Amino acid sequence: MPSPVPPVARALAAREIPHRVFAHAGPVDSLEQAAAERNQTPAQVVRSLLFRLDGETYVMVLVAGPAQVDWRALRRVLGVSRVTLATPEQVQTVTGYAIGAVAPFGLPQPLRVLVDSSLLGQSELSLGSGVRGTAVMIQLADLLRALGQTEIVELTKQGGK
């Protein structure tokens, strides 16, 4: 019996965005393991990070796997003085996905998405599929097209590339 199509793959298919689903053979314990099993480098693995601004306002940042977000740069881009990383419970509530399976597609409500420039040097990327243990493989150009009015920003510390 084939496994069901992950929600992110369904959302991309509905937009006619080329992609493929990759299923890991077992549990994934690290970024390096995920990249190796996908025949990628860690920089090709997209981390979809959810940040909370004031109240119930959230923003998602897409960043290359090993890169680290510069909090000062993030606050400057967002025009706020305070931002926190969303808790696992907030991530589940806001995105509908568990940490490790998050992506900017198939969300219950639209979110502002920032794409860090650390992703721009890659042709193929992988991101969460909405289901742990699977990923969506996608070309950078297709990811940007699927996002629409994409905000590309510089949020990562040097050396995180």
pLDDT digits (tens, 9 = 90+) for 1-33: 456 899 999 999 999 999 999 999 999 999 999
- Residue 54: closest CA among 85, 24, 92, 80: 80
Q: What is the pLDDT of residue 54?
A: 84
Residue 157, SS3? coil
Residue 154, SS3? coil
Bridge partners (DSSP) listed for residue 49: 61
Neighbours of 64 (CB within 10 A): 24
pLDDT, average across residues 139-149: 95
Q: How far apart are CA 4 and CA 146, in angstroms?
A: 22
pLDDT digits (tens, 9 = 90+) for 35-81: 999 999 999 999 999 999 988 899 999 999 999 999 999 999 999 99
pLDDT of 157 strictly over 90 = no
- Residue 59: closest CA among 97, 112, 137, 3: 112
Give strand ranges (E) for the chain.
Answer: 20-23, 46-52, 58-64, 84-85, 112-116, 124-128, 134-139, 151-153
Q: Which helix (H) or strand (E) holds 13?
A: helix 7-14
